[in-house]
Structure 1
């Protein structure tokens, strides 16, 4: 009898000592709810929900993650990330830094001396230092570029799953889910100098935290994306330009289509989200259908998002520009874009005006309604057309379509509060 009492007490103690996250529901087989944005169209998005038990992985390091991704295979798979995984590690798990990738005599000092615009001019870099930079960059790419294939779910376990230094690339893949994961610091050791005709140029970094190109049916949910660890604002200036180490946080290009990005947090970055790669990519017509809802864009300088060609529904998002931070614009209306924005909330310091929130990049149309700016309702279309410069065209409110795939659309004020509490990794209810 006494032994039974001890056993019962021990069992009870075991239950009490189980970490809270261990009792959380299994989200790894969740699928996109019907009607939840563009990714719900044309069959919906299920990711790796059909995976058999042999293709359900829990990974704790880069080597395990690479094995689970299987080179971007289309086999249905579920990959659960536990703890922090650093992509800049060797096969034995040892940390790698930029010096470990450097080869063929590349040095930043040598590169800067070779391509200084005052002596090199406006020509594209070529020669030994550029060749060495490319070779060094290729060595880093072998480590940090992680291809994601079709029928894949990648999900973080608990509230502290982190993928650090990696670029998840969903290329020519269909039916992918990424959820409950922090992706930070896709750091480029070897940025390239790109001269501009008649001007200095810019530094170009190679890696997005998540990059979609030619992808279809993708659901990104409750992720946190940032440059945490190496903010570009703290990088030096070379050739009178900030030495950028990061590209986008989440770029959707190359004819990608049927994408929903929900309840995610993009923070501390310059160019956050590009939808559509160039004005000349006319093959993107009819594609780039994207829904952005209940996301937080905090301390984002620009591209939240910038859109070309796509039909993009932007609703119930929260935009925060803290005092003392740079801001250029939030919504970029590009060539043949059709952005339908409703019930979004913007909070900015005094130096950012409502007229700064929208910028036309050869775009002609923006539907907006229910916008809240520092607690007050505003009409972004009317403001843009009243304050735009002589070099920009007025925008029309007719974007040629009306969204039908969406959940309940709350007021901007209610959404602002809900997103502040619920967006980002580790916050799936």
Structure 2
């Protein structure tokens, strides 16, 4: 990871903070055309700590790009390593326009794969192996090489207008520093070659690759006014094989493997199963302890099944978010309390359908304390920990995360959160 001067970045942040504050306070015009030079305001979540997050605000004209295709985006990301850059996205960039057949390894045959690994033939007590599994894996590697785009340090990636985004692609913010991504609609990439694992659970499962966006080992990342969605391919549109959903989606956003100092604000996460994971493994303490500091504020989580977020190790501040669960959503939980996590969930609003117990909003995976204060469920004050402990007496949660967030620019009354977030969160709503 490139080490960057804290003093220089702080000076830049102060010089440019005015336009960023304007963008977030609503004093500017709706649907403003973003310049790409907005920076994260001071004290706006964990990404504002230790020098702040300025992205590509210092980019010169030679490193300011407007892209209209996936290949152009990848070229702009790779051009002139080390230079600050602003990349403006116009329209929808399709990473898989050529279709799945373009990635197939010679000899791969899905019908043959289904026949070879049918549980009636293969069983359920050992992982799949053999020619077709090897060819599936090779095909998946071909797709990965085509659909992953790596975002370098000192970069701002921003959508132009209300209809800019990416479909089929996976943005990788990996082992870098100082990145801003704003105003993009990111449709979850479809894995063309999911793997069948007969040993996953009691009946086996299909597992896929490619998060919409992954922050891995990176610091100072601001994700703002984006929309994460399954778009035209929700899970309900996918077939089943061997009696299990042919799952072609992975996560919408992962923040993992020592990532740190991240602020996700005014985003929409919608129509997805495993949505947002902070910390990917219980065994990653050596990498993750003292890191995974993430702020989530003024985000809308609509009709998502779980992981909004699921937290391991990190100090996560989640406030003023709105969680909306529709009557047809296969809802599991919102906040996952995992290994050594220190989650603070305050002044959020949750809207649940009739018959869904509010005790399910929190989910205990491991013994870890949590602060949950000032939240409201269906418009009424709710003690989320007490509700959980009453509904799940064998999974008691302990109150008190042991730290108090201080990096907050505004905290709204949770009664105002549904209207505020509903009108202002997501791509196309920069002001």
Note whether the superposition's TM-score is higher than 0.5: yes
SS of 2:38 mapped into structure 1: coil
Alignment of 1:78-117 (within 5 A): 78-88=86-96, 95-117=97-119
SS of 2:42 mapped into structure 1: coil
Evaluate the alpha carbon distance shift between residue 71 and residue 188 of structure 1 in structure 2; reply closer, same or farther with a 3 A threshold: farther
1:167 aligns with 2:137: no
SS of 2:102 mapped into structure 1: helix
1:75 aligns with 2:83: yes
1:352 aligns with 2:352: no
- In structure 1, what is the equivalent of residue 55 of structure 2? 47
Does structure 1 conserve the Cα–Cα contact (< 8 Å) formed by 2:156 and 2:181?
yes
Deviation at 1:104, TM superposition (A): 2.5
1:24 to 18, 22, 32: 32
1:342 to 331, 337, 346: 346
SS of 1:412 mapped into structure 2: coil
Deviation at 1:23, TM superposition (A): 9.4
SS of 1:118 mapped into structure 2: helix
- In structure 2, what is the equivalent of residue 419 of structure 1? 421
- In structure 1, what is the equivalent of residue 156 of structure 2? 153
Alignment of 1:318-397 (within 5 A): 318-390=322-394, 392=395, 394-397=396-399
The structure with the larger Rg is: 1
- In structure 1, what is the equivalent of residue 3 of structure 2? none
Deviation at 1:333, TM superposition (A): 0.5
Distance 2:145 2:171 in 1: 12
Deviation at 1:160, TM superposition (A): 1.0
Does structure 2 conserve the Cα–Cα contact (< 8 Å) formed by 1:215 and 1:257?
yes
Evaluate the alpha carbon distance shift between residue 352 and residue 30 of structure 1 in structure 2; reply closer, same or farther with a 3 A threshold: same
1:266 to 260, 265, 269: 269
Deviation at 1:149, TM superposition (A): 0.9
Which is worse superposed, 307-316 or 398-407? Answer: 398-407
SS of 2:261 mapped into structure 1: strand
Deviation at 1:239, TM superposition (A): 2.5
- In structure 1, what is the equivalent of residue 142 of structure 2? 139
Dislocated runs of 4+, deviation >6 Å: 20-23
Alignment coverage as a number of residue pairs: 402
Distance 1:338 1:195 in 2: 34
Does structure 2 conserve the Cα–Cα contact (< 8 Å) formed by 1:247 and 1:271?
yes
1:401 to 387, 400, 403: 403
Does structure 1 conserve the Cα–Cα contact (< 8 Å) formed by 2:346 and 2:372?
yes
Which is worse superposed, 320-329 or 303-312? Answer: 320-329
1:181 to 184, 199, 204: 184
Distance 2:316 2:368 in 1: 14
Which is worse superposed, 418-427 or 73-82? Answer: 73-82
Structure 2-normalised TM-score? 0.90
1:58 aligns with 2:60: no
Distance 2:50 2:186 in 1: 29
Deviation at 1:364, TM superposition (A): 2.2
- In structure 2, what is the equivalent of residue 213 of structure 1? 216
Evaluate the alpha carbon distance shift between residue 363 and residue 22 of structure 1 in structure 2; reply closer, same or farther with a 3 A threshold: closer
- In structure 2, what is the equivalent of residue 13 of structure 1? none
1:204 aligns with 2:207: yes
1:313 to 314, 317, 336: 317
SS of 1:384 mapped into structure 2: helix
Distance 1:71 1:339 in 2: 39
2:242 to 239, 242, 246: 239
Deviation at 1:407, TM superposition (A): 1.5
Deviation at 1:376, TM superposition (A): 1.1
Which is worse superposed, 189-198 or 175-184? Answer: 189-198
Distance 1:258 1:64 in 2: 29
Does structure 2 conserve the Cα–Cα contact (< 8 Å) formed by 1:22 and 1:158?
no
SS of 1:385 mapped into structure 2: helix
Evaluate the alpha carbon distance shift between residue 129 and residue 294 of structure 1 in structure 2; reply closer, same or farther with a 3 A threshold: same
Deviation at 1:108, TM superposition (A): 2.1
Does structure 2 conserve the Cα–Cα contact (< 8 Å) formed by 1:72 and 1:148?
no
Deviation at 1:134, TM superposition (A): 1.0
SS of 2:134 mapped into structure 1: helix
Alignment of 1:274-293 (within 5 A): 274-283=277-286, 284-293=288-297
Please, which runs of 5 or more residues in structure 1 have no aligned partner? 1-19, 89-94
Distance 1:253 1:104 in 2: 34
Deviation per CA, 1:266-314, whole angstroms, max 9, x where unpaired? 0000010010001111121110000000000001000000001010000
SS of 1:136 mapped into structure 2: helix
Distance 2:212 2:387 in 1: 33
Please, which runs of 5 or more residues in structure 2 have no aligned partner? 1-27
Distance 1:46 1:298 in 2: 29
Does structure 1 conserve the Cα–Cα contact (< 8 Å) formed by 2:282 and 2:339?
yes
